[in-house]
Structure 1
Amino acid sequence: MMTFKKARIMLLPLAMLLFLSFSSAHKFYVSVTNIVYSEDDSAFQITSRIFIDDLDKLLLERYGVEAKLATPKESKIADEYIEKYFRSKFVVQFDGKVVPYNFLGKRYDNDVVICYLEIPNVKLSEIKSMSVQNEVLTDLFDEQQNVVHVKWKNNKKSFVLIRENNKGMLNL
């Protein structure tokens, strides 16, 4: 017959496991992209903020690239694959036509990588509508949410894009 002391010793690890499973922090899967029209440059300037560890995992799973982002051992081909990934998952259209953009580079800010893109030579007065499709990381994380803020002249529009609803549209 089991004594109360033995039962307590056996149940303690189980109780701790249950407690920790409910108190552990849930990971957020989110990116934030700002698209701002610069009248001085006649361009849409785009910054996309993504968690470094999520992008690192994506590059490994999708392309087999051990990027080791934001470390002294960062892969020399990391930027090339980040750009390749963006081109397949981030699309801007003006009046229903895909618009080319330049991938300008990236920098790190704590646990986030900030990617810089630009759509040059934009004649805003000639554009009626704009759509933004952002599927960044939705192929890897079901819970991924991509927040997109678009600012032009005195207007601002924001979208939360997910795997099932990955495109936001607005009239300019």
Structure 2
Amino acid sequence: MKNLKKGVFLFILPLLAFTAAHKFYISVTNVNYSEKDDALQITSRLFLDDMNAVLKERYGIQPKLGIKAESELNREYFEKYLRSKFTVEIDGKTVPYTFLGKKYDTDMVICYPEVPKINLLGVSTIAITNELLTDMYYDQQNVVHFKVKGQKKSYVLVKSDTKGMLNL
């Protein structure tokens, strides 16, 4: 019996050694309104390795986001990708945003888009389209949390449904 247990263990051990843990593909975006600045302040958190992979795949570069040797070209491609996959709409019209920058926190890149001077009093809907990383990872989920004018709403956006809207 002891040899049988040892044999089963030795049989299963190599199988477990080649089993990789499933990786989650997720980003989290918070959309808040600042009365003081009269602006939609947006914070998006993405996995750094996923962003490096998508920039390499999409633009054919060897990105080095998150290291001291990050080049201006890498920063330009990051912003270009962000603007192509992340849009903000107010009352059904796409509005421009200012990309304030990004920072790194361990294995995450945190970026800061902002829509200035939106005059929230006349706004009835705010929508976010977030297609970040869905062109690279089929199971990518982009969570969006709205917190505007006392209204809170959250969405889990996926490749087939990339838009979340808050009605005010």
Regarding TM over 0.5, the answer is yes
Structure-2 separation of matches of 1:17 and 1:119: 53
Give the CA deviation at 1:79: 1.6
- Residue 132 of structure 1 aligns with an amino acid whose one-letter code is I
- Residue 98 of structure 1 aligns with an amino acid whose one-letter code is T
Structure-1 separation of matches of 2:78 and 2:122: 31
Equivalent residue for 2:29, pick from 3, 9, 33: 33
Ranges of 4+ aligned residues in structure 1 off by more than 4 Å: none
- Residue 125 of structure 1 aligns with an amino acid whose one-letter code is L
**Secondary structure of the equivalent of 2:82?**
helix
Structure-1 separation of matches of 2:141 and 2:151: 23
Q: Determine what percentage of the aligned residue pairs are the same residue.
A: 54
- Give the number of the structure whose alpha-carbon radius of gyration is greater: 1
Give the CA deviation at 1:166: 0.6
Equivalent residue for 1:16, pick from 13, 21, 44: 13
Unpaired runs of 5+ residues, structure 1, are 1-7
1:86-106 deviation per Cα after TM superposition (whole angstroms, max 9, x unaligned): 111111111111011011111
Equivalent residue for 1:109, pick from 82, 105, 112: 105
Residue 100 (1) aligns with residue 93 (2): no
- Residue 128 of structure 1 aligns with an amino acid whose one-letter code is S
Give the CA deviation at 1:21: 4.4
Structure-1 separation of matches of 2:93 and 2:12: 58
Give the CA deviation at 1:168: 1.0
> TM-score, normalized by length of structure 2?
0.90
Unpaired runs of 5+ residues, structure 2, are 1-6
> TM-score, normalized by length of structure 1?
0.88
Structure-2 separation of matches of 1:55 and 1:110: 14
CA RMSD of aligned residues (A): 1.7
Q: How does 1:67-106 map to 2 (within 5 A)?
A: 67-106=63-102
Size of the aligned set, in residue pairs, is 162
